[in-house]
Every structure is written in structure tokens, then in C-alpha cells.
Structure 1
Amino acid sequence: MGETKRATGQPKLTLGTVQLGLPYGIHNREGMPSEERSFGILREAWEGGVVCYDTAAAYGQSEDVLGRFFEGKRPTIVTKIHLNPEPGASGEQIGREMRSCIEQSLSRLRMNSIPVVMLHNTRIMEHFGDQVTAAFQTMLSEGLIGRAGISVATNTEEEYRYLSVYLDHPAYEAIQLPMSVLDHRPVVNGCLGRLAGAGKTVYVRSVFLQGLLYMKEDEVPDHLHEAKSLVRLLQDLSENYSVSIAQMAVSYIRDLEGVDSLVIGAETAEQVKANLELIEGPALPGRLREEIAERFRSVPEYVVTPPVWRK
């Protein structure tokens, strides 16, 4: 696992905004903020130098909130669309659905062109990948979007099997995937290295596993009992190396070769400040990086896949 950063110019921190549209996260203590508080969070980020914001049509009011706050400004917005094609849908039908989704996001975001649009539900690529790709190419040529991308959902072998050819496709310049100190699958399976070699912009989300990494052992829900010993081990490493778990989580992923930006959300303006400090924090000692790589190489898939957690 290399630690040399590529000079992509991509900001190190992308503010995740699902929290501005939905109550989100296993460790969420604040609920969904009011619009006034959401604007406070966005103001703290914008004035702190954050220029990139991650959202999705599926994130409740998030796109609307961003549109109202950033009207007249020029942030880099990364949004995601969710498609529901009928079995046997034609390329023309998929193109119409994608155009409708993108136009709705344009309206909510109050933009003429969205900097980055990603496919949110990757499962449809198994049967409609070529049609989705062709439609994205059309939207790119028309200037409705600046770059197209794919948001990897679960990091499973099955998902990478049907996504592989599209992750390599030149139409997709931006890729988002989940990764954390407990989830090394894109490194182990070679995906991150391939994306780096192809010059893709890689956004990493779930750095804190929806807040699971912040929990104490006795706070971990029973349905994630397998995570209790892992959380305890993280706490031991934190104490042994005098590095906070939050800094460990951020620095470990930030400094992987091929990672361009970390998507980190916030429930309060104070959390934005803390995340900005973390993203500029120190690199981890080499031995700690080695211990993380060794000890968490094969964490049970259920523990590191929030979409399949029982709520």
C-alpha cells in the first residue's frame, strides 16, 4: 500500500451532505438539522475552504438545501442518480429516464450543468451497463454534466465482477467507493490501484463506517456483535500510538495511493471544523499503518457493509 499522493488538484475534503436531507448514521446524535443549521454547516465548510459537496437525489432535501445555499456561487457538486429501468428497457428509454433524473437534480440544485453526476444503484449495470454508458456520454456531450461517474455500493466480489469493465471505461472519470481502516477490499482486490493507474478521480466515503468507529465496545448494537472486538482493537491501537481513532481513520485512507478526496459528513458546524483539522492532520507512523493493514485485512463482510446492516 503506497502512501504517495497524486497531484490531481482535487480537494482533500468533500463535505458529505446526506445528513442535511435525512437522519443518517448509526451514531447520529443530532437528527436532521433545520435549514438554518444546515446553512451554518455549509457556511463553515465554504468559508473553511471546502469547495466540493457530495449529495444525491435519494438524500431527501439535500439537493434543495445545497441549491438554496449555493445559488450564485460555484461549488463542485457531486450528485448521484438512481434509475429504475423496466426489464428489457431500450437504450432510448434509459436515456429518457436519465435525462429526467438529471434535469430534476439541475432544478433542485439551481444549476445549468452539474460538475459530477454518478450512478447510485450499480446493480443495473449488470444488464444495462452499455445503455447507461451511452446515455452518460450523450449528457456529457450536451454539457448537462461535467463528468460522469459510478458510486460503488458494497465492495463485494459480485459487484466488482459486473462493474469491472465500466470502472475502466473512459466515460467514467470519477469513482466513489466505501473504504475505512476496517474495509480494505478495494486495495486487496486491486481496484484502487487500477483506478489510480487509469487516472480516475477517486472519492472515498464511509471513512468512519457511519460512526461505528467512534463507538465504545458496549455501544455497538447487538446485530453488529462481530464489530465489538474490532472496535476494542482500534481503541488499543489508538492508545498504544497516541493517535485518536478519528485521525487514524482519516490519515490511513487519505494517504493511500489513488485516493483523491474523502467524503465526510457533519451534523454540526463544529464537526466541520474538526473534520478540516483531521484532513490536515499528520501521517500515521509506518508501524501503525502496517498493523492496521495486517490486523484488519479480512474483516467479516457484514461488518463493513452498512447497506446490509439490520437496523
Structure 2
Amino acid sequence: MKIGLGTVQFGLDYGVSNHSGKTKESEVSEILKEALRLGIHKLDTAYLYGNSESILGQNKKELRNFEVITKTKKFDLKSITKADVRVLREGFFESLSRLNLNQVYGLMIHDSEDLLKENSGYLWEELELLKAEGKVAKIGVSVYSPIQTEKILEKYPIDIIQFPLNIYDHSFLQNGILAKLKKLGIEIHIRSVFLQGLALMSLSELPTYFDSVKIHLQECQDILQKRGITLLEASLDFIKSVQEVDFAILGINNISQLLEIFNSYHIKKDFSDIDYSKFAILDENITNPSKWKLT
């Protein structure tokens, strides 16, 4: 598995542990240069990540050395229409313009539910057309659950998929879904590796919303502390242990974070006696950030 660069922080104030807000444009430029120096060449963005695409597009020299994946707009109605197809195409070409690129490596449906709606085939046909036109190399979807994934696999031959996986959320390790994706030759990307930063926070920093799992988190942190392993190192070792994954998309706010993550990813420590299954949290209200109520 390799590291890919997540860019939502470049365009939005994102993450439960992010106290510095959006990354400064000058910092973005330095992050891109440093990522390339470190051998990182996958870059994940989206039309809906604020002005992330536009900021990336200001760094044309660096950007052309990345394999860029972006995502579509979302669609509100229960049934997909021909008008939605035009929205998808126009939004994608707007993304290309923002990025200052003529083509991208990957294009994903941002909301997986859009591929499960009535007449969703209209959207898929448009993705295939963009691929045939040479505007995108791989087409696929960003999903939230194994159930959604199974339903989509029954309908569409996706090339690339992205889903959440982290030290507390093991939902995609169940029922052989990873082996199935790999057998189909689908490129697997994981996101939410740090659960919006929750996996790296000290207990004193946690919002009260997470009180129900504080004891569990304390037990997990105690296991690591006794072995001299940091939360960051364990979070990265856990995803490295999942052999089917091709890329882990990691959100970066600044250069120091990038270097810390890169060094921790490659650190030589003995993780062999850690049973990560004991870290899993089964409550989706905790592992799914879209369900969080932090205000």
C-alpha cells in the first residue's frame, strides 16, 4: 500500500481535531513539492471541497506530476434525469478548468447513493463516455458502507473505489468484501484513516459527544503506551496490515504533518503483538462522521 495526498483541508475548514482551519495557499504549494520529493504521486480532491481544486490548479507545474482523482457533484432527487447528466459533465469540465488540467486519472461519483437511484445508469453511461473520450483513466465511486458497495458491484463494473477504514472502523474487513474487490481488479483507496483526527486526539480534547467510548479509547491508548507506540504509528500500521488496499488517502494541513506522517509510516517498530480487532468500535454513530452531533 502507498500513500496518497488528501486535499479537503485545502478548500475547507475540515476535521474534528483541526484547529488551524484551511491550509494557506502558500503552504499548499510547499506540501505538493514535498510530497513529490517523498515519492507521493496520488492526489485526491473533489468538486465539493470548497476551492480546493482551484488552489491546486494554481500549482500546474507540480500538479502535472500527480495522478489526480476528483469527484462529481451530488444529486438531490430520488431519480436521476438527463438534466443530471448535463450537470455531471459540466461539473467535471469545471473541475478540469479549476485544476488547470486536460484530463485526470480518476473520476468518482461522490455520493454512492446516486448510483443506487432510479435511472442511475444515466450517470454511469456519462462516466464511461468521459473515459472513452480520454478525459479520465478510471471511473468509480466513493462509498460509505459494505452494503452500498455490494449493491453497486451488482450494477456497475467500477475501476476504482474509495471507502473509510481506520483503527476503530473495521466495517470493510467483514464478509470478504476486500477480497471480492481485489478479485475484480478494482483499485482500492481508503479514506478517514485518522477518523477526521479523532484517532489521534488525547481524551482531554474529545468533545462530549464521544463520552460513550472514552473508556474504550483509554484502554486502546493504554495498550499502545505500554509498548511505546504512538496513536499515529498504530493508525498507520493498522492500515498497512490490510494487504488488499492500494492507496491510503491522508489529509495534510501543513509540511510538518506530512513529514511526521511519512516518517511514522516508515518507522521500524515491532507491532506484531497488537490485536487491532480489540480497537474496533461497532457504533456507527461514532465511526461515521456524518452522524456526529458536535454542537
TM-score of the two chains, using structure 1 as the length reference: 0.87
2:131 to 137, 140, 145: 140
Q: Cα–Cα, structure 1 residues 284 and 301, in superposed 2: closer, same or farther, change >3 Å? A: farther
**1:29 offset after TM fit, Å?**
2.2
Asked if 2 retains the 8 angstrom alpha-carbon contact of 1:125 and 1:162, the reply is no
Match of 1:193 in 2: 179
Report whether the alignment pairs 1:228 with 2:214: yes
Task: Tell me whether 19-28 or 189-198 shows the greater mean CA deviation.
Answer: 189-198
Asked if 2 retains the 8 angstrom alpha-carbon contact of 1:217 and 1:229, the reply is no
Asked if 2 retains the 8 angstrom alpha-carbon contact of 1:255 and 1:283, the reply is no
**1:194 offset after TM fit, Å?**
1.1
**1:156 offset after TM fit, Å?**
6.2
**1:45 offset after TM fit, Å?**
1.4
Report whether the alignment pairs 1:75 with 2:66: yes
Asked if 2 retains the 8 angstrom alpha-carbon contact of 1:63 and 1:108, the reply is yes
**1:162 offset after TM fit, Å?**
3.5
| Length, aligned pairs only | 292
Amino acid at match of 1:165: E
Alpha-carbon distance in 2 for matches of 1:205, 1:75: 18
1:35 to 13, 25, 38: 25
Amino acid at match of 1:115: Y
1:287 to 273, 277, 282: 273
Q: Cα–Cα, structure 1 residues 298 and 214, in superposed 2: closer, same or farther, change >3 Å? A: closer
Asked if 2 retains the 8 angstrom alpha-carbon contact of 1:147 and 1:173, the reply is yes
Asked if 2 retains the 8 angstrom alpha-carbon contact of 1:179 and 1:207, the reply is yes
Match of 1:302 in 2: 285
Task: Tell me whether 44-53 or 207-216 shows the greater mean CA deviation.
Answer: 44-53
How do 1:99-248 residues align onto structure 2 when only pairs under 5 Å count? 99-127=89-117, 128-152=119-143, 154-155=144-145, 157=147, 159-160=148-149, 162-166=151-155, 169-170=156-157, 172-248=158-234
Q: Cα–Cα, structure 1 residues 88 and 25, in superposed 2: closer, same or farther, change >3 Å? A: closer
Which SS does the other structure have where 2:284 is aligned? coil
Asked if 2 retains the 8 angstrom alpha-carbon contact of 1:251 and 1:283, the reply is no
Amino acid at match of 2:167: V
Give ranges in structure 2 of 5+ residues lacking alignment: none
Which SS does the other structure have where 1:299 is aligned? coil
**1:146 offset after TM fit, Å?**
1.3
Higher RCO (CA < 8 A, seq sep 6+): 1
**1:93 offset after TM fit, Å?**
3.0
**1:310 offset after TM fit, Å?**
1.1
Task: Tell me whether 222-231 or 24-33 shows the greater mean CA deviation.
Answer: 222-231
Match of 1:95 in 2: 85
2:254 to 261, 268, 272: 268
Alpha-carbon distance in 2 for matches of 1:31, 1:115: 28
Alpha-carbon distance in 1 for matches of 2:267, 2:120: 39
What is the percent sequence identity of the aligned residues? 27
Give ranges in structure 1 of 5+ residues lacking alignment: 6-11
**1:160 offset after TM fit, Å?**
3.8
Alpha-carbon distance in 2 for matches of 1:196, 1:274: 30
Alpha-carbon distance in 1 for matches of 2:88, 2:139: 12
**1:283 offset after TM fit, Å?**
7.0
Asked if 1 retains the 8 angstrom alpha-carbon contact of 2:146 and 2:177, the reply is no
Match of 1:15 in 2: 5
Q: Cα–Cα, structure 1 residues 133 and 284, in superposed 2: closer, same or farther, change >3 Å? A: farther
TM-score of the two chains, using structure 2 as the length reference: 0.92
Q: Cα–Cα, structure 1 residues 247 and 138, in superposed 2: closer, same or farther, change >3 Å? A: same
Asked if 1 retains the 8 angstrom alpha-carbon contact of 2:79 and 2:120, the reply is no
Q: Cα–Cα, structure 1 residues 48 and 285, in superposed 2: closer, same or farther, change >3 Å? A: closer
Q: Cα–Cα, structure 1 residues 88 and 292, in superposed 2: closer, same or farther, change >3 Å? A: closer
Asked if 1 retains the 8 angstrom alpha-carbon contact of 2:167 and 2:280, the reply is no
Amino acid at match of 1:209: L
Alpha-carbon distance in 2 for matches of 1:49, 1:177: 23
Alpha-carbon distance in 2 for matches of 1:155, 1:277: 30
Asked if 1 retains the 8 angstrom alpha-carbon contact of 2:188 and 2:246, the reply is yes
Match of 1:257 in 2: 243
Alpha-carbon distance in 2 for matches of 1:147, 1:284: 37
